[in-house]
Structure 1
Amino acid sequence: MFDLLLRGGTVINADGPVRANVCITAGKVVALVPPGGSVEAHSEIPVEGMHLLPGLVDAHVHLREPGLTHKEDFVSGTLAAAAGGVTTLLDMPTDEPWTVTPADLKVKMRLAEGRIHTDVGFQVALRRDLFGVAGLRRLDPVSFELFTADVPEAFLHATMDDAVQALRVLAPLDILVGISPGDQSILAGEMVRGLDKPKDVAAFRASRPPLAEAAGISRVLLAAAQTGARIHVRQTNSALGIRTWQRLRDMADASIETTPQCLLFAREAYDRLGAGVKASPPLREKEDVAVMREALRSGSIDIVATDHAPHSPAEKAATYPAFADIPGGMPGVQTLLMTMLHLVDAGDLRLQDLVRVCSANPAVRFGLGGRKGAIRPGHDADILVLDAGGTTRICHADQLSKAGYTPFDGLEVPWSLRTVFLRGRVIFAEGTPAAAASGRVVTASALFQSMLAR
């Protein structure tokens, strides 16, 4: 007899829909039984007419803990994620301090214990001197993060040689390397040329042109091809960047991401939302957005993540000498599902495509395949119950992030999220999150994860 049965729904995996009763025991999907089959379970939930999606895996999140918890923390960030159907978060290392040593990573893991409402995997920053790599690898983070521009000197891999030497060390360690692409020489040149110009939105956009993104992408793809490293290219949003990617991607074992804001907002959004959408890379032209949407439709974009990077309302509302000085980043984990469903409604994606770019691909790419990203026997029972007959209107008042707002306020989507399960346990239902935090720290190795659980 199974622990739990979800009866009568349509399961949506990356390979398409299937009508099935989902059987769950000990937090795992045990079987998918065709409708009408005889099944017994201790508990049964009817989901007739509902779509069942695997919980989303957000591969690019800043939970701000430790050191920046006035912006966000493990509790608030994972509550927001649970409310939005994101059941696994992959946390970036740029907190205070940056996660760069085994001790830093152990602190994060301990801080998360008993406080996270979703599962969380941790990503670690790669210093230019490659300090601590071996010790960090033994703790099995889901990625190492390499930065090629716009970061403190200690973490800046500004040249091709820097990138090649780092990837040469990491390639034998069999771990994914996330790379934030850019070209520091272009950024530095634009900064000098802009010294005597107004410090407005236009100056900020000019300081980070598409050419810098495209140059960074081409450089890291060549470096990965030379070294055999597995890489994941972070948030791209320009036509030049994605076209460079499309021409060179087959040279290396590489994947690429973008974000909902890069698919939905062009530079005109600054006129309406101002500081609320100030982030890097800056918003591009409408033509760039159109090219990005086409790349999503064609399958050129592997992953859609949020770059959830909240700041306190006071920080965003303050007055700064230049637009570039406004803290960069915006909340996103709670709205990922609905913004992607908006793209489904617009005809850019099918439901199975949403699962592919927001669940299956990030799970497999970051070492969580076989556990996350699908509703299949052996996988964690991380399941979303989605009602195609409902309607959701995204609004500021519903946001659980400490940021207290969403750039997607007012967006209406013809779907509603009824229930969110994490390993067969309800963590969100009918607009209310569960009181108890049942999330776990996940790692790229199932063996190491089982050791953490003990």
Structure 2
Amino acid sequence: MFDLILRGGTVVNADGPARADVAIAAGKVAALMPPGEGAPARLEIRVDGLHLLPGLVDAHVHLREPGLTHKEDFASGSLAAAAGGVTTLLDMPTDEPWTAAAADLEAKIRSAQGRIHVDVGFQVALRRDLADVAALRRLDPVSFELFTADVPEPFLHATMDDVVQALRVMAPLDVLVGISPGDQSILAGETARGLDLPRDAAAFCRSRPPLAEAAGISRALLAASQTGARIHVRQTSSALGIRTWQRLRDIADASIETTPQCLLFATDAYDRFGASLKASPPLRDREDVANLREALRSGAIDIVATDHAPHSPAEKAAAYPAFADIPGGIPGVQTLLAAMLHLVDAGELRLQDVVRVCSVNPAARFGLAGRKGAIRPGHDADILVLDPGATTMVRHADQLSKAGYTPFDGLEISWRLRTVFLRGRAIFDGGGPVAAASGRVVTACAPFLSLPGR
């Protein structure tokens, strides 16, 4: 006997929609059955006319714990994720202290237990001295993160030699290395030349130009090609960056992400939103946005992740000497689905494209294949019930992150998220959370798969 059957819905996987009844047992999808097929279950729920999507996997989230919990913590950030249909999130290591040693990761795992509302995988930082790598590897983090600009000195891999030496060590360990592309020399030069100029949003954009991103992407791909390391490129934001990626991507085992804000906002949004949209990389021109959307449609961009990085309202509202000094980062984990559905409404994507870039690809790339990212037998029954006959307005008032706002306030989509299931248990519905925190810490224990076309 099954525990639950969802009857009458349309299942949307990355290969397209199909009518099927979804049977669930022991927290897993047990079967996809023809509509109406008789089967015993302890509970049946009718989902006629509704779409069933696999829970989203947000591969780039800053939960701010430990050390920065006035901005966010495991409980608040994972609850926001559940409200937005993200059932697995992958937490970045840039907290206080940075997660760069086995003891740091073990402490994070202990602290998260019993407090997370969705499943969480942890990512760890690579120090330039590559300390504690072997001990970290034994804990199976979902990625090791390498930073090439704009970070504290112990974590700065500023040169090609730094990147190559790090990847040479990581390649035999059979892990995924996330690389945040940039060029510290360009950042330093632009900053020095701009000391006597206005220190506004335009100056911040000049200090981190598309050239720096493209240089970082090319360096990452060349280094991966030479070492055999498996890499994932973070946060592409520009036409030059994505063109560089398209020219070089076949030389290495690599994937790339962008963010909803890079797909929906251009630099003119700073005039309206100011500090609330300040993050790195900066917003780009409308031509860049158009190029990123085309790359997403064509499959050149593999993953959309939020870079959810909240700050307290007081921190964002304070006065700063320069735009660059404003704490960088915006909340996003609760609005990932809404932003992607906006692109569906606009005819830019199909529902199965959303599943591809927000569910199956991040699960496959970060070592969660076979467990996350699809509604298929054997996978965790992380399921979103989506109503195509109702609308949703994104509002500041509904945000559960400690940031208390969203740059997507006022965005209206022609869908409504009715229910969120985590391993077959309803955890959120239109009225709010319906279960206590039941998320688990997940580790990379499946192959880190190359993505289609690579």
Compute the TM-score of the two structures, normalised by the length of structure 1: 0.98
Q: Take 1:402 and 1:437, find their aligned partners in 2: how far apart are those partners? A: 17
Give matches, 1:251-262, under 5 Å: 251-262=251-262
Q: Match of 2:452?
A: none
Of residues 190-199 and 209-218 in structure 1, the stretch that sits farther from structure 2 once superposed is 190-199
User: What is the letter of the counterpart of residue 112 of structure 1?
Assistant: A
- SS of structure 1 residue aligned to 2:8: strand
Q: Take 1:23 and 1:36, find their aligned partners in 2: how far apart are those partners? A: 12
Residue 30 in 1 paired to residue 36 in 2? no
- 1:30-75 Cα distance to aligned partner (Å, 9 max, x none): 0000112111100011001000000000000000000000000000
User: What is the letter of the counterpart of residue 221 of structure 1?
Assistant: L
Q: Give the C-alpha shift of residue 128 in structure 1.
A: 0.1
Q: Take 1:34 and 1:430, find their aligned partners in 2: how far apart are those partners? A: 28
Q: Match of 2:169?
A: 169
Q: Take 2:131 and 2:280, find their aligned partners in 1: how far apart are those partners? A: 27
Q: Take 2:433 and 2:306, find their aligned partners in 1: how far apart are those partners? A: 21
Give matches, 1:106-255, under 5 Å: 106-255=106-255
- SS of structure 1 residue aligned to 2:20: strand
Q: Match of 1:7?
A: 7
Q: Give the C-alpha shift of residue 434 in structure 1.
A: 2.6
Give matches, 1:25-64, under 5 Å: 25-64=25-64
Of residues 426-435 and 397-406 in structure 1, the stretch that sits farther from structure 2 once superposed is 426-435
User: What is the letter of the counterpart of residue 67 of structure 2?
Assistant: G
- SS of structure 2 residue aligned to 1:444: coil
Q: Take 2:45 and 2:67, find their aligned partners in 1: how far apart are those partners? A: 42
- 1:392-416 Cα distance to aligned partner (Å, 9 max, x none): 0000000000000000000000000
- The answer on whether the counterparts of 1:84 and 1:333 sit within 8 Å (CA) in structure 2 is yes
Q: Take 1:35 and 1:313, find their aligned partners in 2: how far apart are those partners? A: 48
User: What is the letter of the counterpart of residue 183 of structure 2?
Assistant: D
Q: Take 2:363 and 2:435, find their aligned partners in 1: how far apart are those partners? A: 26
Q: Take 1:310 and 1:434, find their aligned partners in 2: how far apart are those partners? A: 25
Q: Match of 2:450?
A: none
Q: Give the C-alpha shift of residue 198 in structure 1.
A: 1.1
Tell me how many residue pairs correspond in the alignment.
Answer: 447
- The answer on whether the counterparts of 1:214 and 1:241 sit within 8 Å (CA) in structure 2 is yes
Q: Give the C-alpha shift of residue 435 in structure 1.
A: 4.1
Q: Take 1:431 and 1:137, find their aligned partners in 2: how far apart are those partners? A: 41
Q: Match of 1:393?
A: 393
Q: Match of 1:20?
A: 20
- The answer on whether the counterparts of 2:426 and 2:435 sit within 8 Å (CA) in structure 1 is no
Q: Take 2:231 and 2:333, find their aligned partners in 1: how far apart are those partners? A: 23
Residue 85 in 1 paired to residue 85 in 2? yes
- The answer on whether the counterparts of 1:228 and 1:252 sit within 8 Å (CA) in structure 2 is yes
- The answer on whether the counterparts of 1:304 and 1:358 sit within 8 Å (CA) in structure 2 is yes
Q: Take 2:248 and 2:278, find their aligned partners in 1: how far apart are those partners? A: 30
Q: Match of 2:451?
A: none
Q: Match of 2:283?
A: 283
Q: Give the C-alpha shift of residue 431 in structure 1.
A: 2.6
Q: Take 2:240 and 2:359, find their aligned partners in 1: how far apart are those partners? A: 27
- 1:228-267 Cα distance to aligned partner (Å, 9 max, x none): 1000000011000000000000000000000000000000
- The answer on whether the counterparts of 1:57 and 1:86 sit within 8 Å (CA) in structure 2 is yes
The 4+ residue runs of structure 1 with deviation greater than 3 A are none
User: What is the letter of the counterpart of residue 12 of structure 1?
Assistant: V
Q: Match of 2:384?
A: 384
Residue 329 in 1 paired to residue 325 in 2? no
Same amino acid, percent of matched pairs: 82
Q: Give the C-alpha shift of residue 202 in structure 1.
A: 1.0
User: What is the letter of the counterpart of residue 104 of structure 2?
Assistant: D
- The answer on whether the counterparts of 1:80 and 1:333 sit within 8 Å (CA) in structure 2 is yes
User: What is the letter of the counterpart of residue 162 of structure 2?
Assistant: D
Q: Take 1:176 and 1:144, find their aligned partners in 2: how far apart are those partners? A: 6
Q: Take 1:16 and 1:79, find their aligned partners in 2: how far apart are those partners? A: 29
Q: Match of 1:362?
A: 362
Q: Match of 1:69?
A: 69
Q: Give the C-alpha shift of residue 26 in structure 1.
A: 0.4
Q: Take 1:29 and 1:262, find their aligned partners in 2: how far apart are those partners? A: 34
Of residues 32-41 and 163-172 in structure 1, the stretch that sits farther from structure 2 once superposed is 32-41
- The answer on whether the counterparts of 1:83 and 1:431 sit within 8 Å (CA) in structure 2 is no
Residue 349 in 1 paired to residue 372 in 2? no
Unaligned runs of 5+ in 2: 448-454
- The answer on whether the counterparts of 2:369 and 2:446 sit within 8 Å (CA) in structure 1 is no
Q: Take 1:293 and 1:17, find their aligned partners in 2: how far apart are those partners? A: 22
Q: Take 1:35 and 1:416, find their aligned partners in 2: how far apart are those partners? A: 23
- 1:332-361 Cα distance to aligned partner (Å, 9 max, x none): 000000110000111111000000000000
User: What is the letter of the counterpart of residue 183 of structure 1?
Assistant: D
- The answer on whether the counterparts of 2:148 and 2:159 sit within 8 Å (CA) in structure 1 is yes
- 1:98-123 Cα distance to aligned partner (Å, 9 max, x none): 00000000010000000000000000
- 1:125-183 Cα distance to aligned partner (Å, 9 max, x none): 00000000000000000000000111111000011111011001000110100000001
Q: Match of 1:450?
A: none
Instruction: Let me know the Cα RMSD of the aligned residues.
Output: 0.8
- 1:404-436 Cα distance to aligned partner (Å, 9 max, x none): 000000000000000000000111012311340
User: What is the letter of the counterpart of residue 86 of structure 1?
Assistant: V
- 1:169-212 Cα distance to aligned partner (Å, 9 max, x none): 00011010000000111111101111111111111111000000
Q: Take 1:283 and 1:68, find their aligned partners in 2: how far apart are those partners? A: 25
- The answer on whether the counterparts of 2:157 and 2:163 sit within 8 Å (CA) in structure 1 is yes
- The answer on whether the counterparts of 1:82 and 1:420 sit within 8 Å (CA) in structure 2 is yes
Compute the TM-score of the two structures, normalised by the length of structure 2: 0.98
Q: Take 2:201 and 2:354, find their aligned partners in 1: how far apart are those partners? A: 32
Q: Take 1:36 and 1:434, find their aligned partners in 2: how far apart are those partners? A: 28
Q: Take 2:368 and 2:68, find their aligned partners in 1: how far apart are those partners? A: 28
Q: Take 2:186 and 2:312, find their aligned partners in 1: how far apart are those partners? A: 31
